[in-house]
Amino acid sequence: MTRTTAVEPRLNDALVIELAACLSADRVHTDHLERALYGRDASLMRGDAGVVCFPRTTAEVQAAVRVALRHGRAIVPRGSGTGLAGGAVPVQQPVLIVTTKMVDVEVDLANRVAWVQPGVINLDLTRQLRPLGFHFAPDPSSQQSCSLGGNVANNSGGPHCLAYGVTSAHIVAIEVVLPDGELAMLGGLGADPDGYDLRGAFVGSEGCLGIATRIAVRLTPNPPAVNTLLADFVEPAHAAAAVSAIIAAGVVPAAIEMMDQRITQAVEAFVGAGYPTDAGAILLVEVDGLPSGVAAETAIIEQVCREQGARSVRIAADEAERMLLWKGRKTAFGAVARVKPNYYLHDTVVPRTKLLDVLQQVYAIAERHELIVMNVFHAGDGNLHPLLVFDAAEPGILERVHAAGEQIVRASLEAGGVLSGEHGIGLEKQSFMAWQFTQPDLDAQARLRDAFDPHARFNPGKVLPAGSRCGDLAHLDAQHRDRLLADGVWV
């Protein structure tokens, strides 16, 4: 690992004292261990959290933000730290505001929303809503640990976002402490709040436009009927073709997930979900809704899969079998840890009809770089998640991993795709932004950021590459990534 810049923490005592006065001394941490712990998220990046705060209320968040502003310190919001793009990795020794103690939920059935504090864990919310007949539709694979604030900031997706839409479609209003310390309600319970859609601008803004302190999420009624199918293919190509054929048949299932042989085997060894380990790829497809539609779509999907060469199509017989099939998918990342200690994950999206092409390129790229690649992804949306698994202790491996990742990104863009489907840009994919956007495109995004945060106090150094506003990015190249990384961050 190379350390680009070493910054020794120099703590401003007055800052810590004032923060402790706003919160309480036991909820403002400055020790080395804690700062190191909160220096990372689930990506490979690391930074140094200057001071780590754990507010409980909106008023405490606002007070902490104001103290940080007075001391000229950057502010970085953080939820559970499961982000994969370095979004919560602290840059410029900021005041890190961790939301894990903000976990209140208030259900408002008459408006079909729940008001949640940002630290509420995605799955906890759904568990609380289920008995009432509702759930929160976005279900990232990390839903056991990721926070709603993180979901909002990254506009997270999940298997069931194919039919239900990503987080943005489920957020009605957001109470935000803005980068100048003011409190604002973006959006609202009414259908058409006045002015520009600031709610929409905030969702997916990766902690750069302020910190969400209360969120009104839409409640989705639990479907009366659900079917989960497992289709088993000899060739990944056939599985990919089946994905396009299902959509082309006019069916938009609740979810279509694909897993290739390597990941299927790893998962099967890990949880015993009953996946066929000799399959070249499997598809996990779910349909839900009213019973006759579910039956009709199940029949279409089964037929399409068989026409595309599925060896077998299994329909979960009961809730227990259904849960087991999903458990395999949702613990895939855990299973990977048993193969190699590290993984690097890309998150590009390609047109669904290009899935097969790009997948084949992904395999070729991994082979060229002598890397192991596993694919487990939201196939229905064309959202690839190639996992390059490796052992960081092996000399020179990180260079190969990054080179392969870069080529995967290029291949996806060439196919008409985009850089990220759900994990965001953070620190990690910043240097690729100029591959997808022109200078005027980036400049427009920078204007939106400037409107909220003209002095770049919130989550500085994230999302937009340096120079987006006016500089010349014409020669920007990912090989210069090291120079683009902000001070104090190392890979």
Partner 1 sequence: MSAALAPVGPLPDRVVRDPVLLAFADQVGGQDAGPVAVQGGRTQWNLGGTADPAARLIRAPSGVVAFEPAEMTVQVRAGTTLDELDAVLAPAGQRVALQGLPAEATVGGVLSVGLSGPMRLGHGPIRDTLLQARYVSAEGLLVTAGGPTVKNVTGFDLCRVLVGSYGTLGLLAEVTLRTRPRPQASVWLAGRADPADLFDRLYRPVSMLWNGAEVWLYLEGYPDDVAAQAALAESAGLSLVPGPPRFPAGRRSVPPATLRHVRLDPAHQGHFVAEMGVGVVHGEWPGASPAAADTAVVALNRQIKQLFDPYGRLNPGRDPMSVPTTRTGQP
| Tokens of residue 342, six digits | 């590290």
Q: What secondary structure letter does DSSP report for 349?
A: B
| Residue 328 lies near ligand FAD (rule: CB under 6 A) | no
CB of 356 to partner 1, least distance (A): 12
| Residue 293 lies near partner 1 (rule: CB under 8 A) | yes
Residue 490 neighbours by CB distance under 10 Å: 17
Rounded to whole angstroms, how far apart are CA atoms 468 and 210? 20
Query: Given the rule CB under 6 A, which of 26-34, 152-160, 219-227, 472-480 is the region that contacts ligand FAD?
Result: 152-160
| Residue 18 lies near ligand FAD (rule: CB under 6 A) | no
Q: Which does 72 bind (CB under 5 to 8 A by kind): ligand FAD, partner 1, none?
A: none
Q: Which does 274 bind (CB under 5 to 8 A by kind): ligand FAD, partner 1, none?
A: none
Q: Which does 211 bind (CB under 5 to 8 A by kind): partner 1, ligand FAD, none?
A: ligand FAD
3-state helix, strand, coil split of the chain in percent (to 5) is 40, 20, 40
Q: In this structure, which amino acid lies at residue 205?
A: S
* Residues 223 and 289 sit within 8 Å (Cβ to Cβ): yes
| Residue 366 lies near ligand FAD (rule: CB under 6 A) | no
φ, ψ of residue 324 in degrees (nearest 5): -70, -40
200-219 binders of partner 1 (CB under 8 A):
200-201, 203-205, 208
Query: Given the rule CB under 8 A, which of 56-64, 124-132, 315-323, 442-450 is the region that contacts partner 1?
Result: 442-450
Which residues have a Cβ under 8 Å from the Cβ of 99 and sit 6 or more positions away?
Answer: 55, 77, 78, 79, 117, 118, 119, 147, 149, 211
CB of 122 to partner 1, least distance (A): 16
- Considering only 351, 363, 484, 487, the residue that binds partner 1 (CB under 8 A) is 351
| Residue 297 lies near ligand FAD (rule: CB under 6 A) | no
Q: Which CB sits closer to partner 1, 15 or 171?
A: 171
- Considering only 58, 62, 80, 126, the residue that binds ligand FAD (CB under 6 A) is 80
CB of 121 to partner 1, least distance (A): 21
Query: Given the rule CB under 8 A, which of 121-129, 229-237, 247-255, 275-283 is the region that contacts partner 1?
Result: 247-255
- Considering only 18, 124, 175, 206, the residue that binds ligand FAD (CB under 6 A) is 206
* Residues 68 and 460 sit within 8 Å (Cβ to Cβ): no
- Considering only 49, 166, 215, 230, the residue that binds partner 1 (CB under 8 A) is 166
| Residue 425 lies near partner 1 (rule: CB under 8 A) | yes
| Tokens of residue 275, six digits | 């996946």
Q: What angle do CA 81, 85, 88 make, to 5 degrees?
A: 40
Name the one residue in this structure whose structure tokens are 């409980």. 56
Exposed/middle/buried for residue 431 (C-beta within 10 Å: 0-12, 13-18, 19+): buried
| Residue 82 lies near ligand FAD (rule: CB under 6 A) | yes
| Residue 47 lies near ligand FAD (rule: CB under 6 A) | no
| Tokens of residue 177, six digits | 């402490």
| Tokens of residue 17, six digits | 């004292």
| Residue 324 lies near partner 1 (rule: CB under 8 A) | no
Q: In this structure, which amino acid lies at residue 391?
A: D
- Considering only 90, 149, 382, 386, the residue that binds partner 1 (CB under 8 A) is 382
375-434 binders of ligand FAD (CB under 6 A):
422-423
Rounded to whole angstroms, how far apart are CA atoms 385 and 392? 20
- Considering only 78, 199, 238, 354, the residue that binds ligand FAD (CB under 6 A) is 78
Q: Which does 203 bind (CB under 5 to 8 A by kind): ligand FAD, partner 1, none?
A: partner 1
3-state secondary structure 281-303: EEEEEEEEECHHHHHHHHHHHHH
- Considering only 70, 127, 368, 455, the residue that binds partner 1 (CB under 8 A) is 368
Strand ranges across the sheet with 171-177: 105-108, 113-116, 211-218, 171-177, 183-187
Q: In this structure, which amino acid lies at residue 410?
A: R
Q: In this structure, which amino acid lies at residue 147?
A: S
Name the one residue in this structure whose structure tokens are 């005027």. 440
| Tokens of residue 319, six digits | 């809730």
Q: Which of 47, 97, 92, 49 is nearest to 73 (CA)?
A: 92
- Considering only 16, 76, 216, 408, the residue that binds ligand FAD (CB under 6 A) is 76
| Residue 183 lies near partner 1 (rule: CB under 8 A) | yes
Residues engaged in binding ligand FAD (CB under 6 A): 41-42, 76-84, 87-88, 99, 118, 140-142, 146-147, 149-151, 153-154, 156-158, 206-207, 211-212, 333, 422-423, 459
